[in-house]
Amino acid sequence: MSTYAEFIEQQESRDGVRFSWNVWPSSKLEATRLVVPLGCLFTPLKERLDLPPIQYDPVLCTRNTCRAILNPLCQVDYRAKFWVCNFCFQRNPFPQQYAAMTETCQPAELIPQFSTIEYTIMRATVPPPIFLYVIDTCMDVEELGSLKESLQLSLSLLPSNALIGLITFGKMVSVHELGGQTGCAKSYVFRGTKDISAKQLQEMLGLTRYAGGVGQGQPQQPGVPPGQAQRPQQPANRFLQLLSSVDMQVTDLLGELQRDPWGVPQGKRSLRSTGVALSIAVGLLDCCFPGAGSRIMVFINGPCSQGPGQVVNDDLKQPIRSHHDIEKDNAKYLKKAVKHYEALAERAASSGHAIDIYSCALDQTGLLEMKSCCNTTGGHMVMGDSFNSSLFKQTFQRVYNRNEHGELRMGFNASVEVKTSRELKINGAIGACVSLGIKSSSVSETEMGLGGTCQWKICTLNPNATLGIFFEIVNQHGAPIPQGGRGCIQFITQYQHSSGQQRVRVTTVARNWADATSNIYHISAGFDQECSAVLMARLAVFRAESDEGTDVLRWVDRMLIRLCQKFGEYSKDDPGSFRLPENYTLYPQFIFHLRRSQFLQVFNNSPDETTFYRHMLNREDLTQSLIMIQPILYSYSFNGPPEPVLLDTSSIQADRILLMDTFFQILIFHGETIAQWRAQRFQDLPEYENFKQLLEAPVTDAQDILQSRFPMPRYIDTEQGGSQARFLLSKVNPSNTHNNPYAYGGVRKT
């Protein structure tokens, strides 16, 4: 391996792990002096096509307090058939099945290239995935029509062994019975002003628990495809039915769905019972399928305006809360609504059920209050203008994205456990997860994010879902470098695969220890500025949820200054002398753009927008998160191939086209001259074919990005002086303004 950059890239593609520091200081004191905490971004379901299919159980360390899994970093005595755990140094015998193992004939879990390996637990019984649609009907006919079409399409995208349910709501909440006599739709109607407990719901609807059970016990039938073997013999109730038996009925039901029949007087909002509808959905799954992989998919066109979870009243004179109202403690319904949705999120998470929110409206819909539903359960949060937009339609289609085997790209009901060497402890995790509250010797007293545990639950996750995990070095200053010269971390992810299998993915990584007093150069060279920026962004956003905005900004600034003091080279009182090592050069930019981003600055954003942006930052992988922090800017010209340019006003040139990717928006900006040429339609003349191709190049690149992004970003095509150029101007560093036209990047004086 020639450089740290290559090493980092290789580790990321192999294990889905990036550390802020790739050489670890051997003492607690030295670790705190590094300013940026030791942490990692871990993508539990990182797509690996080369993983061997392993259909036996993992071998565990026999020490009860350890239970780490056999991995390539363990020492193995092939003759005596023993292995030494690399976490607790316990000597463990191999099970009988490993008797034929030799140094030249190793099981896959001992081969170094399989530091990440996935076991399929064949004896586990897993019910099929459940999709429960919860649909707001308080919307105009056109909106409802488009939503119905998207939902009808989704019935063709779901696996046929999935279970499906339907709840609609407006002023009342209707739970639809499926699988009954065709042509005779039946539903149970609940008042939208009164919450229903799970027990009441069970009694009222006559719900019974799924008989198949969840977890381990019954073996899979040989020769029967997984997932199909576990079809329930009898549906648990009339409300959640096998898709293949009710798809035609559900299509008809959706087709016949009408907007909420209750009239809306002039000057009033629709009475919308989102809180009760969600409570009934959670209760329904809680009663029938606890522990089964499920998605509650909520589609809303406006805020909840009555009953528990209400975020605004029905009087249009009263606007929904703004950041200013929240700051002044003038948001009447906020606390109560947040409490309601937090309780629902906890109930759903404890049963392993995810909640997705698809919010399409021009005004706010209460995402701020409902955020815990998505953030705690790992569900999607999608924010758009209209259900009749291509943004929503395509985003929704991408929820059902499939892999090359035709299986949904999503896992359900996952738990992530972290095991560490003795010298490391876990501070906590930040991501779309919930703490399982499992203490172990690896858990630190100091919390960062969701701490006090070594296990977290993620009710649903896709290949991009990423956790930020923070660690603390507990080795005392002056103590020798720990045994073995390197520290180890093991991530154990148990989840329900979309094919219906229970799987366990094990990732074991190690990094070298170094004495910071004598080898600071090695530690410094192992700094990963990209990972560090994302981890710091997650920490800052986590703080911003509870602290004052200015305090968070000050903290971000202070941390940057301290890092530059520690690793920069400079002569006192000579700003021009300041230099940073090569692997730190982008870090100040990342932090600069972070502190002026929508994640930390709420001005000009609604509370719902802030919630949505922060939600995405907390769940995406490193590459995507970094795009959110510092947008990518490419310049296209006749001078050469497209090149990355500074996110700075100096990059705006008359003869260039810029392509900016902010994750949430893809923007193409035509410089003044290019825009003039385009307006004069030079691209239509055969002799200016090159100009036509120049115009097409950023569009093609933008489409490449648009193809794979989730959720679908907005697409902006603008030019110098165009009103939408403001999206570019708000992101670039304003080095060149009306006050300093000849500053850096401006026209040079001759």
**Collapsing DSSP states into helix, strand and coil, what is residue 488?**
strand
Do the Cβ atoms of 151 and 167 come closer than 8 Å? no
Q: Tokens 């366990």 map to which residue? A: 504
Q: To the nearest 10°, report the CA torsion of 601, 606, 607, 609.
A: -80
Q: By CB under 8 A, tell whether 734 contacts other proteins.
A: no
Per CB under 8 A, the list member of 716, 728, 731, 732 interacting with other proteins is 716
CA 505 to chain centre: 18
Q: Pick out residues in 141-160 that bind other proteins (CB under 8 A).
A: 142, 145-146, 148-150, 152-153, 155-157, 160
CA distance 194 to 306: 9
Q: By CB under 8 A, which span of 15-23, 292-300, 606-614, 619-627 interacts with other proteins?
A: 619-627
543 burial via Cβ count (<10 Å: 0-12, 13-18, 19+): middle
Per CB under 8 A, the list member of 31, 76, 285, 712 interacting with other proteins is 712
Give the nearer residue to other proteins in terms of CB position, either 219 or 255.
Answer: 255
Give the nearer residue to other proteins in terms of CB position, either 306 or 651.
Answer: 651
What is the nearest approach in angstroms of other proteins to the Cβ of residue 54? 24
What is the nearest approach in angstroms of other proteins to the Cβ of residue 240? 19
Q: How many Å is the Cα radius of gyration of the chain?
A: 28
Q: By CB under 8 A, which span of 60-68, 322-330, 396-404, 605-613 interacts with other proteins?
A: 396-404
Q: By CB under 8 A, tell whether 688 contacts other proteins.
A: yes
CA distance 42 to 333: 37
Do the Cβ atoms of 713 and 663 come closer than 8 Å? yes
165 backbone dihedrals φ, ψ, rounded to 5°: -140, 160
Give the nearer residue to other proteins in terms of CB position, either 125 or 386.
Answer: 386
Give the nearer residue to other proteins in terms of CB position, either 67 or 678.
Answer: 678
Q: Pick out residues in 366-395 that bind other proteins (CB under 8 A).
A: 384-386, 388-394
Half-sphere CA count of 131, side-chain side, radius 13 A:
22
Give the nearer residue to other proteins in terms of CB position, either 469 or 563.
Answer: 563
Q: Pick out residues in 181-200 that bind other proteins (CB under 8 A).
A: 182
Residue 662: its H or E element: none
Q: Pick out residues in 454-483 that bind other proteins (CB under 8 A).
A: 463
- Nearest Cα neighbor of 442 from 469, 460, 477 is 469
Q: Pick out residues in 556-585 that bind other proteins (CB under 8 A).
A: 569, 576, 578-582, 585
From the CB of residue 707, how many other CB atoms can be counted at a distance below 10 Å? 10
Q: Pick out residues in 238-277 that bind other proteins (CB under 8 A).
A: 244-245, 247-248, 251, 254-255
Do the Cβ atoms of 119 and 54 come closer than 8 Å? yes
What is the nearest approach in angstroms of other proteins to the Cβ of residue 169? 22
Give the nearer residue to other proteins in terms of CB position, either 105 or 747.
Answer: 747
At position 291, the amino acid (one-letter code) is G
What is the nearest approach in angstroms of other proteins to the Cβ of residue 499? 16
Q: By CB under 8 A, which span of 54-62, 192-200, 399-407, 602-610 interacts with other proteins?
A: 399-407
Q: Pick out residues in 24-83 that bind other proteins (CB under 8 A).
A: 47
Per CB under 8 A, the list member of 213, 452, 549, 746 interacting with other proteins is 746
- Nearest Cα neighbor of 458 from 489, 418, 495 is 495
Residues 6 or more apart whose CB falls under 8 angstroms from that of 455 comprise 415, 416, 417, 418, 435, 436, 438
Residue 731: its H or E element: none
Per CB under 8 A, the list member of 110, 174, 677, 728 interacting with other proteins is 677
Per CB under 8 A, the list member of 189, 689, 729, 737 interacting with other proteins is 689
**What are the tokens at 430?**
């930040």
What is the nearest approach in angstroms of other proteins to the Cβ of residue 46? 11
Give all strands (DSSP E) within 376-520, no chain letters.
381-384, 411-420, 424-430, 434-435, 455-461, 467-473, 486-497, 502-514
What is the nearest approach in angstroms of other proteins to the Cβ of residue 620? 12
Per CB under 8 A, the list member of 565, 707, 730, 740 interacting with other proteins is 707
**What are the tokens at 444?**
């630190």
**Per-position x/- string for 415-444, each x denoting binding to other proteins as judged by CB under 8 A, each - no binding:** ------------------------------
What is the nearest approach in angstroms of other proteins to the Cβ of residue 744? 9
What is the nearest approach in angstroms of other proteins to the Cβ of residue 421? 32
Q: Are strands 17-19 and 353-360 parallel, antiparallel or unpaired?
A: unpaired
CA distance 555 to 171: 46
Note if the bond before 711 is cis, omega within 30 degrees: yes
Q: By CB under 8 A, which span of 23-31, 77-85, 422-430, 677-685 interacts with other proteins?
A: 677-685
CA distance 664 to 673: 28
What is the nearest approach in angstroms of other proteins to the Cβ of residue 254? 8
Give the nearer residue to other proteins in terms of CB position, either 342 or 648.
Answer: 648
Per CB under 8 A, the list member of 193, 401, 601, 605 interacting with other proteins is 401
What is the nearest approach in angstroms of other proteins to the Cβ of residue 146? 8
Q: By CB under 8 A, tell whether 690 contacts other proteins.
A: yes
Q: Are strands 23-25 and 502-514 parallel, antiparallel or unpaired?
A: parallel
**Collapsing DSSP states into helix, strand and coil, what is residue 592?**
helix
What is the nearest approach in angstroms of other proteins to the Cβ of residue 320? 19
CA distance 516 to 91: 32
Give the nearer residue to other proteins in terms of CB position, either 21 or 587.
Answer: 587
Give the nearer residue to other proteins in terms of CB position, either 565 or 680.
Answer: 680
SS in 3 state form for 332-373?
CCHHHHHHHHHHHHHHHHHCCEEEEEEEECCCCCCHHHHHHH
Per CB under 8 A, the list member of 213, 452, 484, 588 interacting with other proteins is 588
Per CB under 8 A, the list member of 262, 681, 734, 737 interacting with other proteins is 681
What is the nearest approach in angstroms of other proteins to the Cβ of residue 106? 32
Do the Cβ atoms of 511 and 19 come closer than 8 Å? yes
At position 738, the amino acid (one-letter code) is H
Q: Pick out residues in 202-241 that bind other proteins (CB under 8 A).
A: none
Residue 643: its H or E element: strand 640-644
Give the nearer residue to other proteins in terms of CB position, either 318 or 585.
Answer: 585
Give the nearer residue to other proteins in terms of CB position, either 62 or 585.
Answer: 585
What is the nearest approach in angstroms of other proteins to the Cβ of residue 589? 7
Q: Pick out residues in 519-538 that bind other proteins (CB under 8 A).
A: none
**What are the tokens at 251?**
């299509």
At position 425, the amino acid (one-letter code) is K
What is the nearest approach in angstroms of other proteins to the Cβ of residue 692? 7
Q: Pick out residues in 115-134 that bind other proteins (CB under 8 A).
A: none
Residues near other proteins (CB under 8 A), total: 127
Q: Pick out residues in 628-667 that bind other proteins (CB under 8 A).
A: 630, 632, 634-647, 650-651, 653-655, 659, 661, 665-666
**What are the tokens at 389?**
């937009």
**Triad 475, 430, 598: Cα angle to 5°:** 125
